[in-house]
């Protein structure tokens, strides 16, 4: 499609060999085959799957657009390199559809969920340091117990594989409506339970796959709320309702500032002017002040 639209498309030689696509297939589609990654990175737009690796940092150049999974939060070195190289990053995992869904994250979440059960079953083998539990069980021996925390895309797909293997599967989620949908999907093969500290502690303690908890990536931050609730008897929002309201109101203003930042950054890159830089710095100060004033 890109080549047919008149764009020059470069692909590193043997880039698709591992999954059955040889260089000839890409040539037939209109792509140019390059001998090195450096020739590919000379392009203005880079499309790939995995986030940049340290060996690729030096191949990028200012003004380049990088379209791939980014995962910047746990990778400060990657973030610093992208800022230093002045690269514009578009993260697959944050591309949002009109209905609020994350269409580019869903396929990876499906893979992660299915692999989680598969890898968990592997880890239970004695040869791999496990307890020797077979998730499917055998005649005369009960199947293994699997506990899945979170009924999102990752959790649902983990449940599909665990149920398919014949395991005794229990899935926890805070949404009763989501649990109803999952029960309709899987029927009596899936047990469900409302997720709370007590149910998690009880079920995980008895689960054979309890050390390989299967949760959703986007639900990670909720763990902090749970732990704070256990320590103080309430979540931060419950303990400080005014702060929670202030944060909700703050987000509306910050969204406008973020859009303004993108516009100013594009203007600065096109023509570096002192007044553009001053305006850009003011938006940074405004966001910092807004966060400070609302906790």
Q: How far is CA 214 from CA 78, 98, 112, 188, in A?
A: 27, 28, 9, 20
3-state secondary structure of 40: helix
CA distance linking residue 133 with residue 130, whole number of Å:
8
| Residue 144 and residue 137 in contact, taking contact as beta carbons nearer than 8 Å | yes
Which value, to the nearest 10 degrees, does the dihedral of the CA atoms of residues 277, 279, 280, 283 take?
Answer: 160
Q: Is 7 an active-site residue?
A: no
Catalytic residue among 7, 61, 71, 198: 71
Burial of 290 (0-12, 13-18, 19+ CB in 10 A): middle
DSSP per-residue string spanning 216-284: -GGGTTHHHHHHHHHHHSS-HHHH-HHHHHHHHHHHHHHHHHHHHHHHHHHHHHHS--HHHHHHHHHHH
| Residue 280 and residue 261 in contact, taking contact as beta carbons nearer than 8 Å | yes
| Residue 101 and residue 78 in contact, taking contact as beta carbons nearer than 8 Å | no
Q: Name the token pair of 22.
A: 């040889």
- The sign one gets for the Cα dihedral 197, 198, 199, 204 is positive
Half-sphere exposure of 103 (CA within 13 A, CB side): 5
| Neighbouring residues of 117: CB distance < 8 A, sequence distance ≥ 6 | 135, 146, 158, 161, 162, 165, 167, 209, 214
CA distance linking residue 20 with residue 14, whole number of Å:
10
Q: Kindly list the catalytic residues.
A: 71
């Amino acid at each position: 499609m890109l080549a047919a639209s008149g764009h020059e498309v470069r692909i590193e030689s043997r880039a698709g060999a591992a999954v059955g696509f040889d260089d000839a297939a890409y040539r037939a589609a209109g792509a140019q085959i390059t001998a090195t990654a450096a020739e590919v990175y000379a392009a203005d737009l880079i499309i790939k799957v995995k986030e940049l690796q340290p060996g690729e940092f030096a191949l990028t150049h200012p003004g380049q657009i990088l379209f791939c999974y980014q995962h910047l939060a746990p990778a400060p070195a990657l973030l610093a390199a992208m800022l230093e190289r002045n690269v514009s990053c578009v993260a697959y995992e944050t591309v949002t559809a009109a209905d609020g869904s994350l269409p580019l994250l869903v396929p990876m979440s499906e893979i992660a969920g299915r692999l989680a059960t598969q890898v968990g079953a592997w880890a239970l083998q004695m040869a791999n340091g496990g307890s020797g539990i077979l998730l499917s069980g055998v005649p005369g021996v009960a199947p293994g117990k699997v506990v899945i925390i979170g009924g999102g895309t990752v959790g649902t797909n983990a449940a599909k594989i665990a149920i398919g293997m014949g395991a005794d599967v229990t899935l926890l989620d805070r949404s009763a409506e989501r649990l109803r949908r999952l029960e309709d999907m899987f029927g009596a093969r899936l047990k469900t339970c409302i997720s709370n500290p007590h149910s998690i502690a009880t079920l995980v303690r008895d689960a054979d796959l309890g050390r390989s908890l299967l949760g959703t990536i986007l639900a990670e931050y909720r763990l902090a709320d749970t732990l704070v609730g256990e320590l103080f008897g309430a979540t931060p929002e419950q303990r400080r309702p005014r702060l929670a309201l202030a944060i909700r109101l703050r987000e509306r203003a910050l969204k406008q500032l973020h859009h303004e930042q993108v516009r100013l950054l594009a203007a600065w890159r096109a023509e570096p002017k002192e007044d553009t830089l001053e305006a850009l710095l003011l938006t940074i100060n405004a966001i910092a002040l807004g966060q400070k004033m609302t906790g």
